[in-house]
């Protein structure tokens, strides 16, 4: 079966349009093939439309990530907070669909600050145009003007930032990607765990009213201080954050980055000579301070103190359970930090000496 051709090729503007509408990843190759087919304009347009639609569909599936979409939906929902429910859902669906089409065009590009500006402008413009169109065609589904402006402005700032962070630095090789995912997971867990400890200390103070002035201030701030002290005591760089090695022609930046990432984790820089390192004392003291209000409340009750009646025993019971969970999680989190730090160090050593590894094999 032959491919029908004609003497007259497609017009320039049709070729240009087809080229711009083709997703980035195969644009030049498809444009060249379509041009080489030398089809009559109508057939060229039809073939190009079918090819482009097929590739957009494939790219949308390839670029889809449920966590990316969940983050986008959450941020947009917060951006239009206070808006009526149905118009919010409609706008959410429209913006998410538009972002999927956008991903189809730019996939498999990684996130970058340079891509944020056009995305921010695009999102704001899309929200404005979509709401304007809805205002004309289906006013009941359109947001109020002030909510639309609020959603456009906040969405234009938060969504591109989320998309940049999400797609930034996705290594293509499996092992580096797994390491980076492990590192991100470790940091998320560290920060969430620390935040949970702060919330716990604040609710402890609320559950057990102070009878000594200034106790709440101490119990609120002391856990944070102890946690920071425990972190710094296990590091060689006591006076500040782990310093990055200056850029140099004689050093491998990948190795420096891996060592820096390893050093920032909750893991001792080197094994200390003492049996029980100082940071362990700080960690234990942290849990002691957390459980102190419960101990004070128990003492008040045992001693028959009248202030025991002011204690919120239900909140205290919940907090004791939460503290036990926090302590159990701490063991898992430290293990994750240790494993990730060791894996990063191992990768840094392999990056430093690939030749010696080859000779040993």
Count of residues in the chain: 361
Q: Which range in 26-34, 69-77, 223-231, 296-304 contacts another protein by CB under 8 A?
A: 26-34
Least Cβ distance, residue 177 to another protein (angstroms): 15
Q: Please tell me the distance from the alpha carbon of residue 123 to that of residue 107, in angstroms, as a whole number.
A: 18
Provide the 8-state DSSP code for 309: G
Of residues 16 and 217, the one with the C-beta less far from another protein: 16
For position 65 contacting another protein by CB under 8 A, the verdict is no
Q: Which range in 22-30, 84-92, 313-321, 334-342 contacts another protein by CB under 8 A?
A: 22-30
Which DSSP string do the residues of 85-98 spell out, in sequence order?
Answer: HHHHHHHHHHHHHH
Q: Where are the beta strands (DSSP E) in the chain?
A: none
Tell how far CA 59 is from the center of its chain.
22
Q: Which range in 49-57, 152-160, 258-266, 284-292 contacts another protein by CB under 8 A?
A: 49-57
Query: 195: Cβ–Cβ under 8 A, 6 or more apart, which residues?
Result: none
Distances (CA, A) of 38 to 4, 25, 53, 56: 9, 23, 20, 23
Query: Where is 162: in which H helix or E strand?
Result: helix 145-167
For position 188 contacting another protein by CB under 8 A, the verdict is no
For position 32 contacting another protein by CB under 8 A, the verdict is yes
**Residue pair 21/54 in contact by the 8 Å Cβ criterion:** no
118-122: long-range contacts, CB 8 A cutoff, minimum separation 24: 119/159, 119/160, 119/163, 120/156, 120/157, 120/159, 120/160, 121/156
For position 39 contacting another protein by CB under 8 A, the verdict is no
Of residues 41 and 71, the one with the C-beta less far from another protein: 41
For position 6 contacting another protein by CB under 8 A, the verdict is no
For position 52 contacting another protein by CB under 8 A, the verdict is yes
For position 51 contacting another protein by CB under 8 A, the verdict is yes
Of residues 57 and 244, the one with the C-beta less far from another protein: 57
Q: Which range in 21-29, 75-83, 91-99, 133-141 contacts another protein by CB under 8 A?
A: 21-29
Of residues 47 and 345, the one with the C-beta less far from another protein: 47
**Which residues make up the interface to another protein (CB under 8 A)?**
1, 3, 26, 28-38, 47, 50-55, 58
């Amino acid at each position: 079966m032959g491919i029908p051709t004609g003497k007259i090729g497609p017009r320039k503007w049709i070729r240009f349009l087809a080229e711009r509408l083709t997703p980035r990843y195969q644009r030049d190759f498809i444009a060249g093939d379509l041009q080489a087919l030398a089809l009559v304009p109508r057939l060229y347009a039809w073939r190009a439309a079918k090819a482009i639609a097929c590739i957009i569909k494939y790219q949308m599936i390839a670029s889809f990530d449920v966590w990316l979409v969940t983050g986008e939906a959450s941020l947009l929902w917060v951006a239009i907070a206070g808006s009526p429910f149905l118009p919010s859902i409609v706008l959410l669906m429209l913006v998410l669909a538009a972002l999927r089409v956008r991903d189809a065009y730019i996939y498999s590009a990684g996130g970058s600050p340079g891509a944020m500006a056009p995305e921010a402008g695009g999102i704001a413009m899309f929200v404005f145009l979509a709401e304007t169109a809805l205002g004309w065609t289906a006013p009941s589904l359109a947001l109020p003007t002030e909510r639309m402006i609020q959603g456009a402005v906040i969405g234009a700032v938060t969504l591109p930032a989320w998309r940049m962070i999400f797609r930034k630095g996705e290594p293509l090789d499996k092992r580096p990607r797994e390491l980076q995912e492990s590192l991100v997971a470790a940091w998320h867990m560290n920060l969430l765990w620390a935040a949970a400890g702060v919330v716990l200390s604040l609710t402890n103070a609320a559950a057990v009213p102070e009878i000594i002035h200034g106790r709440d201030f101490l119990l609120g701030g002391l856990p944070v201080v102890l946690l920071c002290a425990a972190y710094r005591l296990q590091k060689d760089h006591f006076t500040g954050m782990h310093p990055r090695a200056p850029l140099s022609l004689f050093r491998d930046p990948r190795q420096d980055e891996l060592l820096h990432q390893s050093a920032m984790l909750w893991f001792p820089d080197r094994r200390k000579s003492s049996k029980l390192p100082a940071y362990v004392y700080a960690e234990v003291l942290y849990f002691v301070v957390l459980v102190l209000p419960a101990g004070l409340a128990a003492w008040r009750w045992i001693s028959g103190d009248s202030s025991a009646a002011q204690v919120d025993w239900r909140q205290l019971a919940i907090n004791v359970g939460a503290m036990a969970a926090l302590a159990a999680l701490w063991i898992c989190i430290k293990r994750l930090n240790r494993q990730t730090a060791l894996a990063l160090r191992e990768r840094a050593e392999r990056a430093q000496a690939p030749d010696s590894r080859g000779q040993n094999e």
